[in-house]
Amino acid sequence: MAGFDSHRSGASSIAQINVTPLVDVMLVLLVIFMVTAPIIQQGVAVDLPKTRAAPLNAQEEPLVVGIAQNGAIYLNDVPIAIGDLRGKLVAVAQAKPDHQVLLRADRNVPYGEVVRVIAAVKEAGVSRLGMVTEPPPEGR
């Protein structure tokens, strides 16, 4: 046992892992992800109406029909004409009858335009249509 006593033999070896480089790398990655995450999110700029509704629990990724402030219609951030929208949604409704479609309209879009898109979605045979909103700011 005397051979293993490092205090008496004069040779001391410390068996520790230096985690400082690991922490440095992780912090750099965190900063990179924090800076790039808002840049990666692309889409149509839509000023959503505020509401206190609870978020939906979706099992699969829904289709999102967007209406921009200028009246342009988008299907999952891809510009589309209302006639083509019907055709695409008919195909989706036939393939997956229970597939959910979400409507994401700017709050400044005229009500008639929103109703026209809702009618096109319903005419395509979609039975589950949801509306995307934002929660109101805290304190209101």
Q: Where are the domains of the chain?
A: 63-131
CATH 3.40.50.1370 fits 63-131, yes or no: no
- The C-alpha R_g of the chain, in whole angstroms, comes to 27
19-50 pLDDT per residue, tens: 888 899 999 999 988 887 766 655 556 666 66
Q: How many residues are recorded in the chain? A: 140
Average pLDDT in the chain = 78
Residue 114 has a CB neighbour count (10 Å cut-off) of: 16
Q: Which tens digits make up the pLDDT trace of 89-102?
A: 888 888 877 778 88
Tell me the mean pLDDT in the region 51-69: 73
Q: Report pLDDT for 127.
A: 78
Taking residues 132-138, what's their average pLDDT? 75
Token look-up 């109406």 returns 49
What is the secondary structure of 29-92 as a DSSP string? HHHHHHHHHHHH-------PPB--PPPP--SSPPEEEEE-TTS-EEETTEE--HHHHHHHHHHH
Tokens of 57: 């629990």
pTM: 0.55
